[in-house]
A and B are shown apart, each in its own frame.
Chain A
Amino acid sequence: MESGFGSDFGSDFGSGGAGGGKLDPGLIMEQVKVQIAVANAQELLQRMTDKCFRKCIGKPGGALDNSEQKCIAMCMDRYMDSWNTVSRAYNSRLQRERANM
């Protein structure tokens, strides 16, 4: 699950064209956006894994049993729900603060 995120996106910022040597700002911006999105996904996954491991795994056995797997699956969904709730609440608060200036 992890290695998909590790690929090296950023190594050829300017060489996307045919040996032109001119840096295209539009291309750079798109690539940067992709990298940022990847970094955010990684961060989310890392924290989710931490939280769900804590909630769902008691004494580590020889394998993940069925109840542990079910718990992890539910935990993942609840973590996403929580993340979205927090994002919305924070956004509302920011808008309220801006409106009050």
Chain B
Amino acid sequence: CRSRWSPVVPGDGGGMDSPAGAGLGGADPQLQRFIEVETQKQRFQQLVHQMTELCWEKCMDKPGPKLDSRAETCFINCVERFIDTSQFILNRLEQTQKSKSAFSESLSD
């Protein structure tokens, strides 16, 4: 089963819900499957690029001869906290949307 959460990429609807393959290679199921898989892989890659950039700012002082364990731990924590942040934002947004629509219903024009 799939959770509501999916990796958030800026500019992307956030969805594994949208049928990315539809209309592209639609006639050929092999191509369609390929597109889905590659799209997934690319989402992953993009997020790695993005997190590496962000976490570099937070975790790297002066580049040394190797990545010391403190920096490595920082990177790992950074990735986890970034995902947590993304989930938090989605969850809270969902909550505020729910309460907003309940509110605006009672205020119908």
Q: CB within 8 Å of B: which residues of A?
A: 25, 28-29, 32-33, 36, 40, 43-44, 47, 51-52, 55-56, 71, 74-75, 77-79, 81-83, 85-87, 89-91, 93-94, 97, 101
Contacts and interface: CB of A to CB of B under 8 A. Distances in A.
Contacts of A85: 67, 72, 75-76
Interface of B: 1-3, 5, 7, 28, 30-31, 34, 38, 41-42, 44-45, 47-49, 51-53, 55-56, 59-60, 62-67, 71-72, 75-76, 78-80, 83
B70 to A, nearest CB: 12
24 contacts: A28-B31, A29-B31, A32-B34, A32-B38, A36-B42, A40-B45, A43-B49, A47-B49, A47-B52, A51-B56, A55-B62, A55-B63, A56-B63, A74-B65, A79-B63, A81-B66, A82-B52, A82-B59, A83-B48, A83-B52, A85-B76, A89-B76, A93-B79, A101-B3
A89 B80 CA distance: 8
B79 A90 contact: yes
Contacts of A89: 75-76, 79-80
Contacts, number: 87
A25 B45 contact: no
B31 A25 contact: yes
B34 A74 contact: no
Given A82-B55, A93-B83, 17 more contacts: A25-B31, A25-B34, A28-B31, A29-B31, A29-B34, A32-B38, A44-B49, A55-B62, A56-B63, A79-B63, A83-B49, A85-B67, A85-B76, A86-B75, A87-B48, A90-B79, A97-B3
